[in-house]
A and B are shown apart, each in its own frame.
Chain A
Amino acid sequence: MQASAPKSQMELTMPTPTNSSALGASEGTSASTIKLSATDLNFHYGSFQALHGISMKIYANRVTAFIGPSGCGKSTFLRTLNRLNEAVRNTRVDGTVLLDGQDIHDIEVSELRRRVGMVFQRSNPFPKSIFENVAYGLRINGMASNRARLREAVEQSLRRAALWDEVKDKLNQSAYGLSGGQQQRLCIARALAVNPEVLLLDEPCSALDPIATAKIEDLIFQLKDSCTIVIVTHNMQQAARVADFTGFFLLGRLIEFDGTTVIFKNPAKKETEDYVTGRFG
């Protein structure tokens, strides 16, 4: 299951040819450090290979977007970054993923998932109160020593998710009473509560209306100061608006990875160009 590549390799290995061209230069990110790096990652569901040799670097405090048609493997790749695919039966992963230079399979899984938070496609609050939703991660990870600290942490997370003002008077009400957009921001607050270093967003706006979507996009801009953000989206305009880097996936392969402007304005690969210009098909 684990990897063969020595850890030292990651500092040096240069990206696959596709993303060699002026990596990040166009976005002015040359000073950025690498937060996550995947090397030659393969993933199988039973006998079906869903990912083929994905290698990629994800930079700290930047937004990285994955685009591509449905079933291209972008979500699957996202879910390998916090080892959530392991919860699915009959799957196999090989290749390396390093978080701050450490193999994620060497990190205790609940610790890894605390450090790498995730927000899902459909908002999925727990059948608990708003407060308890946000407090859940703090409680299980033993991160709040007393009631006052817990309240403080919950408030802070809700503020970071730009939800505090809307829910501060009804913290003890069911989370299911909130609107779809609010529920999704609650899920973001829930993920933020445990202070993740990386936040994985799996098509977080696909079920939301344009106004709710705009709020989440604003949030992504604000969060990038404190988090590394990886977002899967089927919406190319969204990737263009929020992301510093963009990766294009097709049929389980990473076709191209580069600065977002390069991908959208001047892609190196024909497939990428066809997809971003809407000629894909």
Chain B
Amino acid sequence: MTSLHTLRRKAVNAVMLSLTGLCTFAAAGTLVFILGYLFVHGAKDLSLDFFTKLPTPVGETGGGMANAIVGSAKLLLIAMLVGVPIGFLGGVYLAEFGGATFSFLVRYVTDLLNGVPSIVIGIFAYTLIVLPQKHFSTIAGGLALGVMMIPIAVRSTEEFLRAVPASLREGAMALGASRTKSILTVVIPAAKNGIMTGIMLNLARVAGETAPLLFTSFSNRFWSPGWEQPTAALPVMIFTYAISPYEDWHQQAWAAGFVLLMLVLSVNIIARLLLAKRKHVAR
């Protein structure tokens, strides 16, 4: 009751509230710092060569990471072919067809798969493809990334389909459309934009994955012809170059880091702005 008591409470109030503000600005400031630092250190070594030339051997300056950029694109293509159909159809099942028990199981296992560390997914692709074939390959790396895409593809598809108002569905069915027809012609088109942005975000996420590629697609100093050979990928190059002892490789790592970060963040920003009307983004 004393004023001293009140004074102390007010002081605690002010101090703690300011501290929470400080925490927030520290967290948000980290992003600004990361962006700024990569821009300063990465952008300056970026030239056209980076996008068009192969890496040079140690000691020779210059060169680029053209093979890694193409390699990443090939890996993402396979990942999409693996992850999107399964994830999308699984999501349609959960949103439109699923019964209670089996759907619960599917959701539970999907969440479980989403929580599996990426390095473990790498082991999985290794035992499944690399081990029997006895060589590293683009396909194995793509499969690993594809498996990583599945859980989020399922959950975001389900979420966007569920967001389609029941009245639209019922409207189509009232006109005599079968369930499938109403899903194909009304529900999915209505959810299309959301699902597509979900896939973009999903791709951006696996585009930065390194761990599952280390012993699946491995790496390659040269162009990787076809799909059966090991290939370079941008994130793996960043890792290899960063832990190397060579100064000019470090510079290349910064440049590659800058490119990767710009790609991932711009996709994220665009997708999140497109989804801004919806409150929640599946993680």
Contact = CB atoms under 8 A, between A and B. Distances in A.
A and B touch in the complex (CB under 8 A): yes
Interface of A: 108, 110-111, 140-143
A238 to B, nearest CB: 35
Interface stretch (B1-9, B70-78, B255-263): B1-9
A111 B9 contact: no
Contacts, number: 11
B11 to A, nearest CB: 13
Contacts of A108: 6
Nearest to A140: B9
A111 B7 CA distance: 12
Contacts of B9: 110, 140
A265 to B, nearest CB: 45
Interface residues of B, number: 5
Contacts of A111: 6
Given A108-B6, A142-B1, 8 more contacts: A110-B6, A110-B9, A111-B6, A140-B9, A141-B1, A142-B2, A142-B5, A143-B1
Nearest to A142: B5
A141 B9 CA distance: 9
A142 B8 CA distance: 11
Interface string B1-27: 110011001000000000000000000
Contacts of A140: 9
Interface of B: 1-2, 5-6, 9
* Most chain B CB neighbours (cut-off 10 Å) among A110, A141, A142: A142
11 contacts: A108-B6, A110-B6, A110-B9, A111-B6, A140-B9, A141-B1, A141-B5, A142-B1, A142-B2, A142-B5, A143-B1
A63 B37 CA distance: 66
Contacts of A143: 1
A195 to B, nearest CB: 11
Nearest to B3: A108
A110 B5 CA distance: 12
Contacts of B6: 108, 110-111
Which are the 3 A-B pairs with shortest beta-carbon distances? A142-B5, A142-B1, A143-B1
A12 B6 CA distance: 34
A108 B9 CA distance: 12
B62 to A, nearest CB: 57
A110 B9 CA distance: 10
Contacts of A141: 1, 5
Contacts of B1: 141-143
Contacts of A142: 1-2, 5
B5 to A, nearest CB: 4
A142 B2 CA distance: 8
B9 to A, nearest CB: 7
A143 B1 CA distance: 6
A191 B2 CA distance: 20
A110 B12 CA distance: 14
A143 to B, nearest CB: 6
B216 to A, nearest CB: 48
A136 to B, nearest CB: 14
B47 to A, nearest CB: 50
A108 B6 CA distance: 9
A141 B5 CA distance: 8
Contacts of B2: 142
Nearest to A141: B1
A110 B1 CA distance: 11
A160 B6 CA distance: 27
Contacts of B5: 141-142
A241 B2 CA distance: 40
A142 to B, nearest CB: 4
A140 B2 CA distance: 12
Nearest to A143: B1
Contacts of A110: 6, 9
A120 B2 CA distance: 28
Nearest to A108: B6
